[in-house]
Structure 1
Amino acid sequence: MTDPQVAILMLSMFIVLVLLGFPIAFTLVAMGVGFGYYAYSSGAPESISDIFNNNIFYLLNQNTYSVMENDTLVAIPLFLFMGYVVERANIVNRLFYSLQMAARNLPGSMAIAALLTCAVFSTASGIVGAVVTLMGLLAFPAMNNAGYDKKFAAGVICAGGTLGILIPPSIMLIVYAAIAELSPLRLYAAAMFPGLMLAGLYIVYVIVRVWLNPNLAPKPRSEDVPPQAQIYRDLIISFVPLTVLIFLVLGSILGGLATPAEAAAMGALGGLVLAAIYRSLSWQKVKESVFLTAKATAMVCWLFVGSWTFASVFSYLGGHDIIKDWFVHMDLTPVEFLLLVQLIIFLLGWPLEWSEILIIFVPIFLPMLDHFGVNPYFFAMLVALNLQTSFLTPPMAMSAYYLKGVLRDQIELIDIFKGILPYLGIVIFSMVMLYIFPGIALWLPDYLFGEYVQ
């Protein structure tokens, strides 16, 4: 076999092993080292000591060191810690209740409150699993007790929970910035309007759907609605402090006052202060937050080590050149290139999660952007929107499994999938809107930081 053929075999074996359930990070490391040993081998070893005389081990060591000293990735554990602290501060349940009361005159007020809570909490957390799990425990029973259709309620929670990977400060965007070597500040600015657009479309869909079919979401009974003064007080107590923290973090980043890592550090401190204000700060909760942060950060770091090793070997064997030549010889227009790539990413979202798609497959397409004259930040936003589908597309719709895990026998998995499908269509519609109006993503970063020049 030629080296490019070995590279394609390497990629195919990785997909098969992931589908069989092997851990992604260590599969990447094993595949990178295994095929790298072949790629960098200078012949059969003459002695036992020669077995380890291979450049793949040097490459693995260098990639590990590069990940650990990457300044961009420092923001990940700090944002994670902020999210875990906020999650344990009992802020979200107050926020959901007060938003529900504030939106009581709108059709589907609980569903709207759930979406808004998901959007705010996702912004503070950026952890899809945490948002869906917590809202599944908090919002689903409330909607179920109010007579909401189970499929409708499940779809709202699953869709709202995925907003965390799109709306800044998104962990996914930090990972993308490190992979594509783009400015995280411009990525955050580019993601603001697409994220708000998607959240807004979700809310519009809920209002229209319930207006057309009121049986999906009965109106709250008048005796269950507290006095208006209490509503405003609860809303101020629960909504304002968390929102101020989020705006301070994002504002310092987008205003150029702080790097993402510096803003994340202040956000982590702000999360502790909020927990103290709400009298929810305890040594046990801080210890749990630190443990979960370390666990999630270690996973991200090993994903990077494995992916960079895998990608280096894949490129060395000529895998990237094969795929690039295939796209170039198809004589595609820029629009056709974008449509084909997004279709591939969408299909990959059926069996794979966002991290696998982003770390392994997106770097394959990045070198082609210059050839087709595609703005890398515009491409990043298309990918970010598209990756929403990896959480919403069966059979590996992880948001559905997160929700099923906490609800257990309260709802069937197939009903969760049925509830998700309309939101999958909304994501695709959002991508179409972004194709037609690229300024949705590009106007704000160009306004804040000047027009991007390739």
Structure 2
Amino acid sequence: MLEGIPAIVVGVGLLLGLMLLGLPVFIAFLTVNLLAVGLMLGPSGYGMFIASMFDTTTTNSLVTIPMFILMGEILFRSNAVDVLFHSIDTIVGKVRGRQYVLTVLLATIFSTLSGAAMGVAAMLSRSLLPTMVARGYDSKLAIGNILAGASLAPLIPPSILAIIVGMLAGVSISGLLIAGILPGLMFAVLFLGYTFIRVRLDPSLAPSDEGIRKEPSVGEVVMALVQLIPFSIVIISVIGLILMGIATPTEAGAMGVLGALVTAAIYRRFSLSLIKDSTISSARIAAMILIIMATSKLFSQLLAFTGGATALTQLVAGLDVAPWLMIFLLMALPFILCMFIDQIALMLIVVPIYIPILNNIGVDPLWFWLLFLINITVGGMTPPFGYTLFALKSGWEDGRLAEVFSAAWPFVFIFILGMVLLAIFPGIVTFLPSLI
């Protein structure tokens, strides 16, 4: 029987190989787990597999996931997207490069609804990008802003990935959700700052808005703000309930669903068909995540059984490297792997292996896992294999993939700069969670 680090190498290698062959994530985990149980424990070990699946699927923390998904589905189908688009378009007003500003703001807000970078990138590449290119905006700068804004999805709550990481790593889910707020806003400001500098240095990147957009009146701005109130109440109430310690993430998610239904009624889109379609779509997504979680939990248990996790911890403890260098190495691996495999699949593989290493080097787990979330998101938009790039290209049929690749690099470096700032000033991550 394989033991120690060789068990980790063979197990992870086989898992990644099956995923790269195109097998669904849950089938890859199921295959490796069944194979490992049969080889190490024999037929009697399959009872352990069933018990592990039951224990995972009955975890209370997982209830939060379908709540947040359902809230987003209802808001998407309730005309909230159209209202957001037109209201923010009015509020931005007439500024040089206003469509870039609109892109970043919309991507940031849509990230609170979707929680998936690929979904936001695909949607904006279909709806906003063609219009910007037709009006004479620079396609690369527009693409970069869409990719960067969409990549904030795992950070800004409610985030499905934050819930999964919190559950796997054993850190506060409420704390991890709240921890993403200030970094998410910081990144949005960095994107806007970079865009304004580029436009200031090269005015040709943004056409004059004369004849396209008039300065909005005070009444138009007020009306736009009023139209945003229902949506804003839903998002703020969910985040606020968690931040004030009044509700758990699951309870806040349930309140968010109720608020989304009220919002749908205010926007005159409430109907039985909306509830039916939203529920079916949410059930499909949540079931997929639940199946993946159920089939993956035993993988970490088997690594512990073989002594792999202990051996890896001892190996790391024996390395004479500075903690910052170890953190860099721990970040580099998922950054590269996330260009090839799904974020959730990567987390399910890496998080159980990282936990004992983090305990050994003594870093703040909330800070580390927030950086980890940022890291895997940036990997997803980094050429040449980041899947967020291909999601954007699938929605923009007129462009070239090489142009998308070229547009991504400046914003990848901005993300890296932001991560350096979070490393130097960890309080940006830990301040809000400390208030809970």
Q: Same fold (TM over 0.5)?
A: yes
Q: What amino acid is the match of 1:126?
A: G
- How far off is 1:33 after superposition? 1.1
- From 385, 388, 391, the equivalent of 1:402 is 391
Cα pair 1:350 1:396 within 8 Å, conserved:
yes
Rate the CA distance shift 1:354–1:91 in 2: closer, same or farther, 3 A. same
Cα deviation, residue 227, structure 1: 4.2
Alignment correspondent of 1:209: 198
The CA deviation at 1:252 is 0.5
Q: In the aligned structure 2, how far is the partner of 1:200 from the partner of 1:336?
A: 28
Find the counterpart in structure 1 of residue 410 from structure 2: 422
- Determine whether 1:433 maps to 2:421: yes
Contact 2:94 2:214 in 1 (8 A): no
Equivalences for residues 124-203 of structure 1 within 5 A = 124-203=113-192
- Superposed displacement of residue 230, structure 1: 5.0
> Is the contact made by 1:7 and 1:318 (CA closer than 8 Å) also made in structure 2?
no
Contact 2:121/2:150, CA 8 A, preserved across alignment = yes
The 3 A distance-change label for structure 1 pair 238 and 208 is farther
Structure 1 residue identity aligned to 2:425: F
In structure 2, the CA distance between the partners of 1:432 and 1:30, relative to structure 1 (3 Å rule), is same
State the secondary structure of the residue aligned to 1:346: helix
TM-score, scaled to structure 2 = 0.94
C-alpha RMSD of the superposition: 1.8
Q: Normalising to structure 1: TM-score of the pair?
A: 0.91
Does 229-238 or 173-182 show the bigger shift? 229-238
SS at match of 1:165: coil
Q: Tell whether the 8 Å contact from 2:334 to 2:346 is kept in structure 1 after alignment.
A: yes
Alignment length (residue pairs): 435
For residue 423 of structure 1, report the CA deviation from its aligned partner.
1.2
- Residue 380 of structure 2: SS of its match in structure 1? helix
In the TM superposition, what are the counterparts of 1:50-449 in structure 2 within 5 Å?
53-55=43-45, 57-222=46-211, 224-225=213-214, 227-229=216-218, 231-408=220-397, 410-446=398-434, 448-449=435-436
How far apart in 1 are the matches of 2:116 and 2:74? 12
Unaligned stretches of 5+ residues in structure 2: none
Q: Any idea what SS the aligned residue of 1:220 has?
A: coil
C-alpha separation in 2, matches of 1:223 and 1:415: 26
Q: Amino acid of the residue matched to residue 419 of structure 2?
A: M
Deviation of 1:95 (Å): 1.8
Q: 1:377 Cα shift?
A: 0.7
Question: Aligned AA for 1:418?
Answer: S
Distance 2:117 2:241 in 1: 24
Distance in structure 1 (CA, Å) of the matches to 2:273 and 2:391: 24
Q: Is the 8 A contact 1:177 1:187 kept in 2?
A: yes
In the superposition, relative to structure 1, how do residues 382 and 227 fare at CA in structure 2: closer, same or farther (>3 Å)? closer
Q: CA deviation at 1:147?
A: 1.2
The CA deviation string for residues 383-422 of structure 1, in whole angstroms up to 9 with x for no partner, is 12212213212333222222222222x1122211211111
How much identity, in percent, do the aligned residues show? Answer: 31
Residues 144 and 160 of structure 1, relative CA distance in 2, 3 Å threshold: same
Tell me how far apart the structure 1 counterparts of residues 103 and 420 of structure 2 sit (CA, whole Å): 26
Check conservation: 1:8, 1:319, Cα contact below 8 A. no
1:40 and 2:41 matched: yes
Tell me, yes or no, if the aligned pair for 1:354 and 1:390 is still in contact at 8 Å: no
The one-letter amino acid of 2:225's match is: I
After superposition, the Cα gap between the structure-2 partners of 1:371 and 1:150, relative to the gap in structure 1 and judged at 3 Å, is: same
Match of 1:452 in 2: none
**What secondary structure is seen at the aligned counterpart in 1 of 2:341?**
coil
Kindly state the Cα deviation for residue 253 of structure 1 after the two structures are TM-superposed.
0.8
Q: Which moved more, 1:424-433 or 1:200-209?
A: 200-209
Shift of 1:27: 0.4
